[in-house]
């Protein structure tokens, strides 16, 4: 059973470009969570999704950020018109309902 798969592992974008981060949950997991980790800081919750539904997006910035978890395929975190402050590690976690969350290795986004 493969773990949570995130790609790409590293992503470099110029200011103003779009960043797309992908997350494939563990087999049998229907809950996906996205977190952001700034350098030397803890992880901050961004959004919680189930298949085709956003359950809680209270941690998502109001502009430029969006997330989806379609019926088929990975969950996508999209950041439009990236700025330097978006540079961070973005982690995806998955869980079955009411159980421990397992994290992927993260995508390290660098905005230049």
Partner 1 sequence: QQQVKQSPQSLIVQKGGIPIINCAYENTAFDYFPWYQQFPGKGPALLIAIRPDVSEKKEGRFTISFNKSAKQFSLHIMDSQPGDSATYFCAASKKDNAGNMLTFGGGTRLMVKP
Tokens representing residue 80 in the block: 């439009």
2-21 positions binding partner 1, by CB under 8 A: 4, 6
Secondary structure of residue 10 in the 3-state scheme: strand
In whole angstroms, how close is the CB of 107 to partner 1 at the nearest point? 10
Least gap, CB of 94 to partner 1 (angstroms): 10
Q: What's the length of the chain?
A: 112
Identify the bridge partners of residue 34 per DSSP, sorted by sequence position: 47, 92
Q: What is the DSSP letter of 15?
A: T
The only residue of 19, 43, 77, 88 in contact with partner 1, by rule CB under 8 A: 43
Between 103 and 110, name the residue whose CB sits nearer to partner 1. Answer: 103
């Amino acid at each position: 059973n493969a773990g949570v798969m995130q790609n790409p592992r590293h992503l470099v974008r110029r200011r103003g470009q779009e960043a797309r981060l992908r997350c494939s949950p563990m087999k049998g997991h229907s809950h996906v969570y996205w977190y952001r980790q700034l350098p030397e800081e803890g992880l901050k919750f961004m959004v919680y999704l189930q298949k085709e539904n956003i359950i809680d997006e209270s941690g998502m910035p109001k502009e430029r950020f969006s997330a989806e978890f379609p019926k088929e395929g990975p969950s996508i975190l999209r950041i439009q018109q990236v700025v330097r402050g978006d540079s961070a590690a973005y982690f995806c976690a998955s869980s079955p309902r009411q159980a421990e969350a397992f994290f992927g290795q993260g995508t390290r986004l660098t905005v230049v």
